[in-house]
Amino acid sequence: MQDTTADDPDALVRALAQKTALLHEVDHRVKNNLQLVSSLLLLQARRAVDPAVRDALRSAQARINAVAIVHRRLFQEEDALQFDVAAFLEDMVEDAIGGSGRTDLHARLDLEPAELPAFQAAPLALLVGELLGNCVRHAFPDDRGGVITVTLVREGDQLRIEIADNGVGVATTGANPGAGQTIVKLLCDQLRADCQVADAHPGVQTILRLPLSGAR
């Protein structure tokens, strides 16, 4: 069987077309299932009476959404093995600020073109999602407006992603030692990233440094 296929160019072309169709089918199902999971959590959140339950379901949905953004991007590009970090950060920021319903929050983006291997996309999305979520939820209480600045720079064999706000500062942002902080710490370990949080007067500045060579 193997030999016949190898010797017959038509059979090779057919086999390749079959594999490609299969890949598209899997991609299609992954995207639809992510949509279903996300919509289910939203529906459940809408029905929740207890505000704490609603918040928990909402944050679970936000995390699923971060993974969804990655998948929407991945197969839209020609190269499904690399992903465009700048385009993805734009989507994440747009969703984090727009999704909060706050019209008094604005984004400033300064993004150099950069790519990472696709297998790092989901963990990076979750990590950035937590950091942006913290900014939106904690840095600007009591209708205090402000700016979230996101910077992406290549520094030698590292990527530096900086997320800064001009909000109320460290003391109030660190108040929630919940799942979010654990997720940030674990994902930094997984990505071999270094995460530094500093008081930026005003606000908080978080700097992520990721090796470009690809952690595993």
CA distance 96 to 116: 22
Nearest distance, CB of residue 159 and another protein, angstroms: 22
Instruction: Scan residues 93-152 and list those touching another protein (CB under 8 A).
Output: 94-95, 98-99
> 57, 69, 89, 139: which one contacts another protein (CB under 8 A)?
69
Decide whether 5 or 76 has the Cβ nearer to another protein. Answer: 76
Residues binding another protein: number (CB under 8 A) = 27
Decide whether 62 or 210 has the Cβ nearer to another protein. Answer: 62
* Cβ-contact 65, 73 below 8 angstroms: no
String of DSSP letters for 48-107: --SHHHHHHHHHHHHHHHHHHHHHHHHTTSS-TTEEEHHHHHHHHHHHHHHHTT-SSEEE
CA distance 200 to 149: 12
* Cβ-contact 199, 169 below 8 angstroms: yes
Decide whether 46 or 185 has the Cβ nearer to another protein. Answer: 46
The 1-40 contact track toward another protein, x by CB under 8 A, reads: -----------------------x--xx--xx-xxx-xxx
> 57, 63, 68, 128: which one contacts another protein (CB under 8 A)?
68
Q: Is 179 in the site for another protein (CB under 8 A)?
A: no
- List the one residue out of 145, 69, 154 whose CA is nearest residue 110: 154
Decide whether 67 or 124 has the Cβ nearer to another protein. Answer: 67
Nearest distance, CB of residue 117 and another protein, angstroms: 21
Decide whether 77 or 211 has the Cβ nearer to another protein. Answer: 77
Decide whether 65 or 120 has the Cβ nearer to another protein. Answer: 65
* Cβ-contact 107, 150 below 8 angstroms: yes
User: How many CA atoms lie less than 13 Å away from 158 in the CB half-sphere?
Assistant: 13
Neighbour-count burial of 83, counting CB atoms closer than 10 A to its CB (0-12 exposed, 13-18 middle, 19+ buried): buried
Q: Which residues bind another protein (CB under 8 A)?
A: 24, 27-28, 31-32, 34-36, 38-40, 42-43, 46, 65, 68-69, 71-72, 75-76, 90-91, 94-95, 98-99
